[in-house]
């Protein structure tokens, strides 16, 4: 089952200084945190801030190519995670044919925001990575960020997991391009 989400915010993980996109379900309280690259975070932040540039950036170019070929982005789905890497698909309609394009979630989100397409997440991902607000307002995060985003010198998995369990989405700094 797919659940519609919205981009709640972009932040910086204070322990790694890496950008994080916070997706919140439209009809609920669950969130999914996805650690992303700075370029993709900038593209998302620029769109959220309605910033325009005189020349198209990469995601703008892809939208123009898609439209030029007669395609319409119907939705984005973030469907699975393997080895701490999330997978997404762009669901495109072209001349009545619907097809799926494999893409990174961060790129998919940046493109969806540009065309106003809905974003969906597999319910089991929201369950796996559910953030539950405990009575003491401490958030529990069940899945760690990808290993590629580990701080220089590394951090032990148990330490990272314990740190993430104590985070609340509000603990993340704001990402500004």
Over residues 136-177, the pLDDT tens digits come to: 233 333 333 433 333 433 444 444 445 545 555 555 555 555
Rounded to 10°, the helix 105-115/38-48 angle is: 20
Q: Which option is the CATH number for 2-174: 3.20.20.70, 3.40.50.300, 3.10.690.10, 3.40.1280.10?
A: 3.10.690.10
Q: Which of 12-21, 105-114, 141-150 has the lowest mean pLDDT?
A: 141-150
Question: Which residue spans within 13-150 are E strands per DSSP?
Answer: 19-25, 31-35, 71-82, 85-94, 97-103, 119-122, 132-133, 139-140
pTM (2 decimals)?
Answer: 0.73
What per-residue confidence (pLDDT) applies to 7? 94
Kindly report, residue by residue over 52-80, the tens digit of the pLDDT.
Answer: 878 888 899 999 999 999 999 999 999 99
């Amino acid at each position: 089952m797919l659940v519609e989400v919205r981009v709640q915010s972009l932040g910086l993980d204070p322990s790694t200084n890496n950008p994080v996109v916070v997706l919140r379900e439209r009809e609920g309280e669950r969130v999914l945190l996805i650690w992303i690259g700075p370029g993709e975070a900038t593209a998302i932040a620029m769109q959220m801030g309605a910033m325009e540039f005189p020349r198209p950036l990469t995601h703008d170019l892809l939208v123009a190519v898609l439209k030029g070929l007669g395609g319409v982005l119907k939705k984005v789905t973030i469907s699975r995670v393997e080895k701490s890497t999330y997978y997404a698909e762009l669901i495109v309609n072209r001349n009545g044919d619907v097809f799926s394009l494999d893409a990174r979630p961060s790129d998919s989100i940046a493109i969806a925001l540009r065309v106003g397409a809905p974003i969906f997440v597999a319910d089991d991902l929201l369950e796996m990575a559910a953030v539950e607000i405990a009575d003491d307002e401490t958030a529990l995060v069940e899945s760690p960020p990808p290993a590629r985003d580990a701080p220089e010198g590394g951090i032990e998995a148990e330490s990272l997991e314990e740190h993430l369990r104590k985070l609340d989405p509000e603990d993340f700094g704001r990402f500004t391009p």
